[in-house]
């Protein structure tokens, strides 16, 4: 009985939270004029027009191009983020270097720094390097553990398990990197997966950096492509945008469900054992 009530409340709140998402999926099957008429998500005159027209876009390229671009940016970005964040976190958690506290403070300070402050100086820097209008400015900075939040999260995770295992590995003749690879990495796998997922989703939604660094339409990722048809002087074909948003959501959803178990564990452990 109590369980029934509890599940009733949970389901009700869950539906409430998910409704906008359902509405988006429903909206993608509606003709454009129907979208603002009703709050219901079931289309009266279901149509695939949004998908067909949205996929072809008003540009020289189909939506597949923008999806591929997105992955060409995100995949290297996730890989370099994970590698660099784990290395730096391992350093902070296990080694004593002079000025470590100050450096750690600096790392935390970068989390608080608004990204837009760096925009113009970085733009000028990448211009000097000749990297404008390439994917490089979008992922190369991540190779230097610039996402302080991820480093912080992994450090917290590492603090939560005893050093004895690593000491045992050192006794068996492992050097630091071997300890990291054979002992630490398997244990912190949930945190690593969380980092990868977070970075994946955030990069997927990142609008400002591709907007600034990419000028060729052929290199646009999905986040830019979705906004390509929204203007102030003509009515927007929302059904096309909703349809393409639905498609763009699928990779994130699939990844999340595949890694859900580790993901939840990763955030909670990092959060609780501070």
Partner 1 sequence: MNATARLPRLVAALALAAILFIQPAPAADSQPTVELRMSWWGGNEVHRAYLASLRRFEAKYPHIKVKGEYTGWVGHLERLTTQIAGGTAPDVMQVNWNWLVLFSRDGRGFYDLNTLNGTVDLSQFDRDARDTGTVKGRLNALPVAMAARVFYFNETTFAKAGLRVPRTWDELFAAGPIFRERLGKDYYPLAMNFLDVLALCRSWVVQRTNRQLIDEGSRRLNASEADMEEMAAFYQRLVTEHVIAPAPERASYGNVADQELRPWITGRYAGMYYWTSAVGKLAETLQPGQKLVLAPYLMREGASDAGLFYRPAMMVAVNSKTQHPKEAALLLDFLFNDAFAVEAFGLQRGLPVSKSAVATLEARGLSRTLGWDGNTQVATLPHRVGESGYFEHPRVRDGFIDIFESLGFGEISAAEAGRRMYTDVNRILERVVRPAGDGSGS
If binding is defined by CB under 8 A, does position 124 make contact with partner 1?
A: yes
If binding is defined by CB under 8 A, does position 212 make contact with partner 1?
A: yes
Q: Which of 204, 184, 182 is nearest to 86 (CA)?
A: 184
* Cβ contacts of 70-73, under 8 Å, gap ≥ 24: 70/204, 70/221, 70/222, 70/223, 70/248, 71/251, 72/135, 73/135, 73/138, 73/139, 73/203, 73/210, 73/221
Two tokens, residue 28:
């993608």
If binding is defined by CB under 8 A, does position 120 make contact with partner 1?
A: yes
Number of H helices, E strands in the chain: 15, 0
If binding is defined by CB under 8 A, does position 237 make contact with partner 1?
A: yes
Q: Is 114 exposed, middle or buried (0-12, 13-18, 19+ CB in 10 A)?
A: exposed
Q: Which is nearer to partner 1, 33 or 273 (CB)?
A: 33
If binding is defined by CB under 8 A, does position 87 make contact with partner 1?
A: no
Question: What does the alpha-carbon distance between residue 220 and residue 248 come to, in Å, rounded to a whole number?
Answer: 14
Question: What does the alpha-carbon distance between residue 258 and residue 143 come to, in Å, rounded to a whole number?
Answer: 25
CB atoms within 10 A of CB 267: 16
Question: At its nearest, how many Å lie between partner 1 and the CB of residue 124?
Answer: 6
If binding is defined by CB under 8 A, does position 61 make contact with partner 1?
A: no
Question: At its nearest, how many Å lie between partner 1 and the CB of residue 63?
Answer: 13
Among 60, 95, 96, 171, binds partner 1 (CB under 8 A): 60
Question: What does the alpha-carbon distance between residue 220 and residue 145 come to, in Å, rounded to a whole number?
Answer: 25
Q: Which is nearer to partner 1, 82 or 153 (CB)?
A: 82
Question: At its nearest, how many Å lie between partner 1 and the CB of residue 237?
Answer: 6
If binding is defined by CB under 8 A, does position 129 make contact with partner 1?
A: yes
Do residues 35 and 236 touch, judged by C-beta distance below 8 A? no
Among 17, 96, 233, 274, binds partner 1 (CB under 8 A): 233
Among 146, 176, 236, 252, binds partner 1 (CB under 8 A): 236
Residue 230 carries which DSSP code?
A: -
If binding is defined by CB under 8 A, does position 140 make contact with partner 1?
A: yes
Q: Which of residues 10-29 bind partner 1 (CB under 8 A)?
A: none
Among 224, 242, 243, 244, binds partner 1 (CB under 8 A): 224
Q: Which is nearer to partner 1, 194 or 209 (CB)?
A: 209
Q: Is 20 exposed, middle or buried (0-12, 13-18, 19+ CB in 10 A)?
A: exposed
Among 5, 17, 102, 216, binds partner 1 (CB under 8 A): 216
Q: Which of residues 147-206 bind partner 1 (CB under 8 A)?
A: none
Residue 166 CB-half CA count within 13 A: 20
If binding is defined by CB under 8 A, does position 272 make contact with partner 1?
A: no
Which residues are at the interface with partner 1 (CB under 8 A)? 33, 36-37, 58-60, 76, 80, 119-120, 123-125, 127-130, 132, 136, 140, 143, 207-208, 211-212, 215-217, 224, 227-237
């Amino acid at each position: 009985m109590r369980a029934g009530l509890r599940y009733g409340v949970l389901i009700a709140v869950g539906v409430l939270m998910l409704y906008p998402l359902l509405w988006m999926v429903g909206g993608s099957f509606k003709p454009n004029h129907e979208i603002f008429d009703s709050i219901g998500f079931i289309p009266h005159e279901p149509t695939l027009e949004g998908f067909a027209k949205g996929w072809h876009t008003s540009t020289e390229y189909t939506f597949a191009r923008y999806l591929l671009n997105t992955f060409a940016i995100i995949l290297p970005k996730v890989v370099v983020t994970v590698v660099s964040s784990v290395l730096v976190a391992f350093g902070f958690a296990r080694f004593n270097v002079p000025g470590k506290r100050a450096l750690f403070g600096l790392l935390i300070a970068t989390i608080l720094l608004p990204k837009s402050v760096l925009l113009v100086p970085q733009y000028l820097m990448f211009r000097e390097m000749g990297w404008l209008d390439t994917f490089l400015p979008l992922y190369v900075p991540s190779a230097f553990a610039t996402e302080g939040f991820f480093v912080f999260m992994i450090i917290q995770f590492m603090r939560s398990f005893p050093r004895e295992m690593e000491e045992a590995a050192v006794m068996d003749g492992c050097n630091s990197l071997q300890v990291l690879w054979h002992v630490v990495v398997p244990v912190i796998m949930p945190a690593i997966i969380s980092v990868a997922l977070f970075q994946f989703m955030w990069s997927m939604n990142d609008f400002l950096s591709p907007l600034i660094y990419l000028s060729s339409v052929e290199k646009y990722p999905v986040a830019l492509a979705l906004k390509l048809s929204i203007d102030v002087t003509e009515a927007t074909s929302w059904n096309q945008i909703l349809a393409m948003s639905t498609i763009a959501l699928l990779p994130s959803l699939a990844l999340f469900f595949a890694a859900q178990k580790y993901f939840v564990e990763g955030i909670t452990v990092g959060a609780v054992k501070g």
